Amino acid sequence: MSFDRFTDPVRSAEELAAIIGTPSAFSLRKELTALDEHMLRFVAHSPFVVVGTHATDGRCDVSPRGDAPGFVHVVDDRTLLIPDRPGNRRVDTLRNILETGRIGLLFLVPGVGETLRVNGRAAIVRDEAWLTPLSVRGKRPLVAVAVAVEECFLQCAKALLRSNLWEPHERPDSQSLPCAADMFSDHVRMPELDAAKIQALLDGAYKNNLY
């Protein structure tokens, strides 16, 4: 895709600062290099984290991770362990970590507007002694992502307030947003897998393969 259709792009950090302004002392001082007691409580209450990684060629990936609150294990104030539960085996996040060893996390707590951002280094670990405590329903994850915290800070609630994310919402009707099975059917275009068969696969995976 070309950006030629846009006639007035911002081309430098100086131009950006002239438009947006510069961060306040408050915004800069809130950044820490280790998780303090408030952040540790936030992680303990979070059932959902968004994981951002990138490959050496610049490709980026953002992936959701979710489980019971506190599923991200705190090793210490500078180290986190994220269990890798069964998925689609694309392992985009894991491959990116192997290539660049960098990661960004966004923790959410239902009903709380603020989020917790954590950035740092990452590695894929398979030590049984560390993985066994991360087991759920008797199933141990095959690997986990170890995160070495380099910077962490709370993000204000403006985005979640604007989105009304935690307010009750009705699901869009099927005309405005088809179900996942219909969308997957159009995306994969595999004649042997129509929407009904894909829905059956999804139902089985969601019921039997969460762990």
If DSSP states are collapsed to H, E and C, what string results for the chain? Answer: CCCCCCCCCCCCHHHHHHHHCCCCHHHHHCCECCCCHHHHHHHHHCCEEEEEEECCCCCEEEEEEECCCCCCEEEECCEEEEECCCCCCCCHHHHHHHHHCEEEEEEECCCCCCEEEEEEEEEEECCHHHHHHHCECCECCCCEEEEEEEEEEEECCHHHHHHCCCCCCCCCCCCCCCCHHHHHHHHHCCCCCCHHHHHHHHHHHHHHCCC
Are 58 and 121 in a shared domain? yes
Are 50 and 110 in a shared domain? yes
In this structure, is residue 21 part of a structural domain?
A: no
Tens digit of pLDDT for each residue in 75-120?
A: 999 999 999 999 999 999 999 999 999 999 999 999 999 999 999 9
In this structure, is residue 17 part of a structural domain?
A: no
In this structure, is residue 113 part of a structural domain?
A: yes
Are 51 and 131 in a shared domain? yes
With a cut of 70, list the residues of the chain below it in pLDDT.
none
Report the b/e string of 195-206 with b at 16+ CB within 10 A.
beebbeeeeeee
Are 110 and 207 in a shared domain? no
Are 144 and 206 in a shared domain? no
Task: State both tokens at 64.
Answer: 């959701």
Which pLDDT score is estimated for 174? 86
Residue type, 136: V
Are 86 and 106 in a shared domain? yes
Are 105 and 45 in a shared domain? yes
In this structure, is residue 7 part of a structural domain?
A: no
Are 151 and 189 in a shared domain? no
Contact 156, 27 (CB under 8 A): no
- Full-prediction pTM beyond 0.75? yes
Task: State both tokens at 36.
Answer: 């303090």
Residue type, 7: T
What's the rounded Cα separation, in Å, for the pair 84 and 148? Answer: 17
Are 48 and 142 in a shared domain? yes
What's the rounded Cα separation, in Å, for the pair 65 and 94? Answer: 13
Are 35 and 137 in a shared domain? yes
| Domain-terminating residue out of 124, 142, 163 | 163
Are 98 and 193 in a shared domain? no
Residue type, 159: A
Q: How many domains does the chain have?
A: 2
Which pLDDT score is estimated for 2? 84
Are 83 and 179 in a shared domain? no
Q: Give me the domain span that covers residue 86.
A: 30-163
Which CATH number do you get for residue 134?
2.30.110.10
What's the rounded Cα separation, in Å, for the pair 94 and 66? Answer: 16
How large is the C-alpha radius of gyration of the chain?
Answer: 20
Task: State both tokens at 125.
Answer: 């670990």
Which pLDDT score is estimated for 207? 94
